[in-house]
Amino acid sequence: MISLKANIDISIKDAFENFINNCIVKNLRPASIEYYKESWKKLQKVLGSLKLENINKKLVESYIIYLKKDNNLADVTINTNLRGIRAILYYFMDENYIERFKIKLIKADTSQKETYIENELKILLKKPDIKKCTFVKYRTWVIINFFISTGARLSTALSVKIEDLNFRDELISYNYTKTRREQIVPMSNTLKMILLEYIRIRKGESKDYLFCNVKGSKLAIRVLQENISDYNKLRGVQRTSIHAFRHTYARMWIIAGGNMFALQRLLGHTNLEMTKQYVNLYANDLKNNYNELNPLERLSEKNINIRMRRK
């Protein structure tokens, strides 16, 4: 291993460039690389001109204090910024550009995740008149059904191709995931019927993207965000978050008594920690219909009379 002394002369600019090149070699997603660039840019903006020899635990703590006090950011947001910086600085440590020290995330309360309520879902899932509506409106309705039925991430859903749909076995293959691992999820009966009809109208070849633009190319994230915003607001639903569909899927799965390990696989979480957050967040919702679902209540007779024997 190269010693710290041998690497101390490298500039901080070159050190960060080496980090980015390492990300490219590791084949990280472009979005992840952009996240690291933005994190690094924000650190430099806050703390000014940095030098490798000045990077230490106190400097990171100063950055946290700035984000917390001066910028008034939520704890979860601070940790989002801190994760990017931590990855960069740990790379510097591994390469002996700086001395090693621990960077801990701050303790943060888990915030309630935005979800759609039942009345909103009923409005959004009401099928438009195919004979009268535009293809964009019909496609948006299909995509919303897809999100509610699968809990898929936005980038994953838009990367699904027609050939990824296995109607015979009722399965959907995800070839573009956050973890870069192929994922196969079940296809519900309702979604199956919706997608079969959609493909008849959409047409296209097996290699084509399922959700395309009017020219048949892959639908852009920004365009879909605008489509869903317009679609929802026209129906009186002011909530327009696409990721909220994923949270809604998790919430409804938990409330229905779905298995947590199954939910982990369906959502594509690499471990149970994120899935556990959903369970903890929606613990209060589990109280709904609790007596109807509770084993003791279901097994007991409501009119049972318990008589105590007198001594």
pLDDT at 50: 79
CA angle, 229 then 232 then 234, to 5°: 105
Predicted confidence (pLDDT) per residue in 140-165, tens digit: 999 999 999 999 999 999 999 999 99
Average pLDDT, the chain: 84
Which fold does the domain 118-291 belong to in CATH? hpI Integrase; Chain A (1.10.443)
Model confidence band, residue 282 (pLDDT cutoffs 50, 70, 90): low
pTM, rounded to two decimals: 0.67
Torsion angle defined by CA atoms of residues 92, 96, 97 and 99, in that order, rounded to the nearest 10 degrees = 90
Is-same-fold flag (4-94; 118-291)?
no
Predicted confidence (pLDDT) per residue in 198-234, tens digit: 999 998 899 999 998 878 888 999 999 999 999 999 9
Predicted confidence (pLDDT) per residue in 104-139, tens digit: 888 866 666 788 998 999 999 999 999 999 999 999
Q: For the chain, give every domain's residue range.
A: 4-94, 118-291
CATH class belonging to 4-94:
mainly alpha
Cβ partners under 8 Å of residue 34, min gap 6: none
Model confidence band, residue 179 (pLDDT cutoffs 50, 70, 90): low
Q: Please determine, for residue 16, whether its predicted confidence score (pLDDT) is greater than 90.
A: yes
Model confidence band, residue 2 (pLDDT cutoffs 50, 70, 90): very low
